C-alpha cells in the first residue's frame, strides 16, 4: 500500500494534511492551551474524532449488509486531556441513531462500534466511553 496522505507544516503551529487519493485537505492547529491558535482540529482532536468516524463507519457497514441504513446517525465527541505527560486521558462518544432495527441488532452494532479498528489501535490506558441513544 502506498502513501495515504502528505502533511506540510505551514508555520505558526499549523499543518495541512492532504489525502493523496481524493485531494481532500484537513487543517490542523495546536490548541490554544498549548501555544496554538485553536482554529482547526488539534492532533488529539483528530484522534478522538477518528474514533467516532470509525465507530460509525463499521456500524454502517454492518447495517448495509443487513439491508438498512444508519443515515443521519451522529456522534458527539468529548476529549479529556491529562498532563504529565500530556496525553488524551479519555474519549467520550454519544452516538445517536434511528431505532430502525431490532434490539438484538442494536446490541450487535454497539459491540461492533466498541471494537472498531481505531478503538483497538488506541492505548488500553485511554478510557473509551461510548453511549448509544436509539431514537424512534
Sheet strands (E) in the chain: 5-11, 14-19, 25-29, 74-82, 87-98, 127-135
Q: Which of 123, 46, 122 lies closest to 79, judged by CA?
A: 46
Q: Which of 58, 93, 91 lies closest to 74, judged by CA?
A: 93
Domain span including residue 71: 43-135
Same domain, 104 and 124: yes
Q: Which of 24, 50, 29 lies closest to 40, judged by CA?
A: 29
Same domain, 64 and 14: no
Q: How far apart are the first and last CA of the chain?
A: 42
Average pLDDT over every residue of 100-108 = 96
Banded model confidence at residue 99, pLDDT cuts 50, 70, 90: very high
Same domain, 60 and 98: yes
Mean pLDDT rounded to a whole number for the chain? 97
pTM to 2 decimal places: 0.95
Report d(CA 86, CA 106) in Å as an integer. Answer: 36
Neighbours of 51 (CB within 10 A): 26
pLDDT-above-90 percentage for the chain? 98
- Residue 1 confidence (pLDDT): 74
Same domain, 101 and 125: yes
Q: CATH number for the domain including 93?
A: 3.30.300.20
- Residue 90 confidence (pLDDT): 98
* Number of domains making up the chain: 2
Same domain, 20 and 60: no
How does pLDDT run across 26-57, given as a tens digit for each residue? 999 999 999 999 999 999 999 999 999 999 99
Three-class SS state of 120: helix
- Residue 136 confidence (pLDDT): 87
DSSP assignment string, 37-65? --SSB-HHHHHHHHHHHHHHHHHHHHHHH
How does pLDDT run across 53-70, given as a tens digit for each residue? 999 999 999 999 999 999
Same domain, 59 and 15: no
Please name the residues in contact with 75: beta carbons below 8 A apart, sequence gap of 6 or more: 52, 53, 55, 56, 93, 94, 95, 96
Same domain, 89 and 128: yes
Same domain, 122 and 90: yes
Same domain, 108 and 73: yes
Query: In this structure, what C-alpha cell is assigned to residue 41?
Result: 482540529
Amino acid at each position: 500500500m502506498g502513501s495515504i496522505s502528505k502533511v506540510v507544516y505551514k508555520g505558526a503551529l499549523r499543518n495541512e494534511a492532504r489525502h493523496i487519493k481524493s485531494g481532500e485537505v484537513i487543517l490542523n492547529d495546536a490548541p490554544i492551551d498549548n501555544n496554538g491558535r485553536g482554529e482547526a482540529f488539534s492532533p488529539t482532536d483528530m484522534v478522538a474524532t477518528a474514533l467516532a468516524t470509525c465507530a460509525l463507519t463499521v456500524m454502517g457497514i454492518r447495517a448495509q449488509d443487513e439491508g438498512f441504513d444508519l443515515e443521519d446517525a451522529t456522534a458527539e465527541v468529548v476529549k479529556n486531556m491529562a498532563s504529565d505527560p500530556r496525553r488524551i486521558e479519555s474519549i467520550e462518544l454519544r452516538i445517536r441513531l434511528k431505532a430502525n432495527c431490532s434490539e438484538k441488532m442494536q446490541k450487535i452494532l454497539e459491540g461492533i462500534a466498541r471494537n472498531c479498528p481505531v478503538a483497538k489501535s488506541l492505548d488500553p490506558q485511554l478510557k473509551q466511553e461510548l453511549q448509544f441513544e436509539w431514537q424512534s
